[in-house]
Structure 1
Amino acid sequence: MTRMHEYSALDEFETGDMDLEERQALRRVAGLSTELQDVSEVEYRQLRLERVVLVGVWTSGTAVDAENSLLELKLLAETAGSEVLEGLIQRRQKPDPATYIGSGKALELRDVVESTGADTVICDGELTPGQLRQLEDTVKVKVIDRTALILDIFAQHAKSREGKAQVELAQLQYFLPRLRGWGGNLSRQVGGRAAGGVGIGGRGPGETKIELDRRRIRERMAKLRRQISGMSTSRETMRQRRSQREVPAVAIAGYTNAGKSSLLNRVTGAGVLVEDALFATLDPTVRKARTPEGRLFTIADTVGFVRHLPHQLVEAFRSTLEEVADADLILHVVDGSHPDPEGQLAAVREVFADIEGATDVPEIVVINKADAADQDVLDRIARAERDSIVVSARTGAGIDELMALVERRLPRLDHEVTLLVPYDRGDLISRAHKEGEVLSVDHVEDGTVLHARVLPSLFHELERVGKPVERVS
């Protein structure tokens, strides 16, 4: 087993200290040990991560790729409120089907856990129920995989009713096949001669505890799906209202912690929460913005993506992710200072492929954090991505150029009008300012001479009430 670099060298990846302290304070319960008394019933307890050892299996790519993946796992673990003690990588052609890293390496991992005093092992992949059980039996502490870790972070960050329901559904989908437990409190079904010939009165319960838990989870999942369906209907209604007004929609998407919320704040002054932490944004925020020429559009901040985003989350957050598919333009934000920005771009596009219609939406790659990135890396990404622009949401560099590019890429206002609009229809002049591009306004005796480019619905309304006039050049 190959040990990673000492984690003191990874301090540059620290998350927000104050926020991390708050999360740890909320998750620690006085008088309760974090050590397992019975590791076989870990799934019945609330997931709590504190002192952890990370372990990954390097199956393909370079050693740098493997270390970058474990660095990201470290960030995820710290975001969940953990103290990372050690990181280990095992080189294999494929994960061991029994213990993920192999029986011999599992024993070595147990020695590392004992020497560091860790109470949790986090694996950089999704483990099967059997792998989880056998690895726990060997290392004698709680074992968590990457999927459970991401689900836990989502649960901490969910604020809205819809976000909480989506996360809970994803967690239940993940934990349902992993429910297990042994002992007398989980009686097995018996009856008739199987019950020692005792017959009536001597049979076991109709359902074992584990079956009862599974049934309750399925019922809860069905209820959550109905709730989310109702909430997505409300979200769809809001989207339809915006589309009926024909205001173009822009979606900000990208890898977690790439700076999407900072970009939204820079463009709109929205004041959305910005944290140096993974998955700080779960609930989409929609704000109004204007192009340099004054054209109105909506811009939506969406949940961040990550490598191997659990499919349960993609499914549960489908109604939220549809903001991306329904947009007229996607601003795909990538962290230019990250060790592997191309990997971030590829991971996000994998999620786009799971969202119906998202791959058909025009995309601008926004290379963010230019103030902290290496110029050679910025140039390399810009050469590879045909439609890209380099910005810094923190300093404001490149934002004007980005907005000009958004102006060019939004659906065109192809109806140009020059009409005399009566003074009693000032509402149409107001709509032209809000939804279109006003080229000139001239107030005359009979009304307002409007020269503008507008959307089809407003064009027909103006034609109905206005009078044509000759354009003065």
Structure 2
Amino acid sequence: MIETAPITEKAVIVGLINSQQDERQVKEYLDELEFLADTAGAVVLKKFTQKMDIPNKATFVGPGKLEEIGNYIKVVEADTVIFDDELSPTQLRNIERQLECKILDRTNLILDIFAKRAQTAHAKTQVELAQYQYLLPRLTRMWTHLERQRGGIGMRGPGETQIETDRRIILEKIARLKEQLIKIDKQKATQRKNRGKLVRVALVGYTNVGKSTIMNMMAKSEVFAENKLFATLDTTVRKVVIENIPFLLADTVGFIRKLPHGLVESFKSTLDEVREADILLHIVDISHPGFEEQIETVNNTLKEIDAGDKPLIYIFNKIDAFTYEEKDEDDLTPRTKANFTLNEWKNSWMAKDNTPALFISAIEKENIDVFKQKIYDEVKKIHVQRFPFNDYLYEITEE
């Protein structure tokens, strides 16, 4: 049997510049969208932007810009147009009608990546639920004939239209998936209880910041890690021992800007490991130019899942990849954060904040001893409260 290589889709991506996101931010968002497209298996040929106060209700961008996009995709024979924000059903329908190609929004693209990455029954069920919740309000633009999956004849209610039938089938699927998740959640809750009182530490952070690499380094495990977004979907928990203190370390799904609310809802059970953790290690890619915005995104998501008040340590990873723009002495323009050296960052808000901050490179093993010592110190504070007799034995051993 001859294996053929998967066909790479050709795509263009589109974003809006407005009062909520300036030109610099939109460039960064579109770079991230391009990374998402690459993760999904598409190559981005061109990025389109337009300055608009609010999206066009009918076509997201203006008629002239949409015509420009249409002319371009015909010339390059692009397969897909991806928009950086979630499109309404009306916008999707109108854009598809004019461009006559596949139209995706950021939410749809993320859902596609999650479906591709899901490995366990838990993750697959969560993704499927989020997909159906996304699909439900968009049925008017689709001729899905979902009743064929149910055998067709005898399944349609009296007088129902195709859309009503499809909607009913999807609602039934959503209800069934929710029931499955409840059963899985109960099983996972039992697993967490069986782990006893060991201190729990969870790795959290933006996607692709090095959480899985740190997990592999700490637990000597083989958690999948690569330079792609959402390499990890399923929470992995490993027992780790530093010196004489055992604890549980959990690697969790990465967060991202504009994460679909339905996806957050579906994955809340996966994030139980975060909610039940004693300590959060917030991993940050300090080499990323927008790392401060990524920090804010993660902190906002932690609040959304009721984990915003957990003890937290910032771990600024990838210091080996950190770069800055040197200014000439004759350059009189004001300095920006792009000109900050690593030491200047260390002495900025990172030093003034009450939250501890460490600077490491998980790949190059820089400052790992300091990192492990800090984790040990913080875990031990909690451990000795739960196991006072063991602490007495540890003190004898240390003497």
TM-score for both structures, normalised by structure 1: 0.72
* Aligned equivalent of 1:69: 29
Counterpart position of 1:226: 179
Matches within 5 A, 1:114-193: 114-181=74-141
CA 1:290/1:437 → structure 2, altered by over 3 Å: closer, same or farther? farther
Equivalences for residues 352-371 of structure 1 within 5 A: 352-356=302-306, 358-371=307-320
Secondary structure of the equivalent of 2:394?
strand
Identify the match of residue 58 of structure 1 among 17, 29, 39. Answer: 17
> Out of 312, 327, 338, which is 2:262 matched to?
312
Any residues of structure 2 matched to 1:412-431 within 5 Å, and which?
412=382, 413-414=384-385
The amino acid of 2:375's aligned partner reads V
1:359 alignment partner, SS class: coil
Partner residue, 1:277: 228
Equivalent position to 1:384, from 345, 349, 354: 349
How far the C-alpha of 1:337 sits from its partner, in A, is 1.3
Identity of aligned residues (%): 42
Shift of 1:181: 4.4
The AA in structure 2 aligned to 1:281 is T
Of 395, 409, 434, the match for 2:364: 395
Decide whether the 8 Å contact of 1:294 with 1:437 is kept in 2.
no
Residue 438 in structure 1 maps to residue 389 in structure 2: no
Root-mean-square deviation (CA, aligned residues, Å) is 2.4
Gaps of 5+ in 2: 147-156, 325-339
Aligned amino acid, residue 219 of structure 2: T
AA partner of residue 329 (structure 1): I
For the Cα contact (< 8 Å) 1:336–1:377, is it kept in 2?
no
- The residue identity in structure 1 corresponding to 2:16 is V
Q: What's the offset of the Cα at 1:102?
A: 1.4
The offset of 1:53, in angstroms, is: 0.6
> For residue 301 of structure 1, what is the aligned residue in structure 2?
251
How many Å separate the matches in 2 of 1:218 and 1:415? 46
Relative distance call for 1:374 and 1:123 in structure 2 (3 A) is same
C-alpha spacing 1:416/1:25, structure 2 compared with 1 (3 Å) = closer
C-alpha offsets along residues 387-441 of structure 1, whole Å, 9 cap, x if unaligned? Answer: 21111111111221112111232343148978xxxxxxxxxxxxx4xx8861225
The reply to whether residue 212 of structure 1 matches residue 172 of structure 2 is no
Q: Any stretches of 5+ residues in structure 1 without a counterpart? A: 1-21, 29-48, 187-203, 419-431, 442-451, 453-472
Q: Per-residue CA shift, 1:161-214, capped at 9, x if unaligned?
A: 00000000000000110012488x89xxxxxxxxxxxxxxxxx96222222111
- Provide, for residues 111-164 of structure 1, a one-character-per-residue CA deviation record: whole Å limited to 9, x for no partner: 121122111100000111011111112222121100000000000000000000
Over 3 Å counting, the alpha-carbon distance change for 1:353 and 1:437 in structure 2 is farther
1:81 Cα deviation after fit: 0.5
SS of the residue corresponding to residue 299 of structure 1 reads strand
| CA–CA distance in structure 1, aligned partners of residues 315 and 203 of structure 2 | 9
Computing the radius of gyration from Cα coordinates, the structure with the larger value is 1
Aligned residue pairs, count:
363
When structure 1 is superposed on structure 2, of 340-349 and 151-160 the one drifting more is 340-349
Structure 1 residue 62 displacement after superposition: 3.5
Q: TM-score, normalised by structure 2?
A: 0.85
Letter in 2 for 1:405: K
SS at match of 2:75: helix
Matched-pair contact (CA < 8 Å) for 2:93–2:141 = no
Contact in 2 for aligned 1:181/1:210 (Cα 8 Å): no
**Out of 280, 291, 306, which is 1:330 matched to?**
280
CA distance in 1, matches of 2:186, 2:180: 10
Aligned partners of 2:202 and 2:279 also within 8 Å: yes
CA distance in 1, matches of 2:233, 2:367: 26
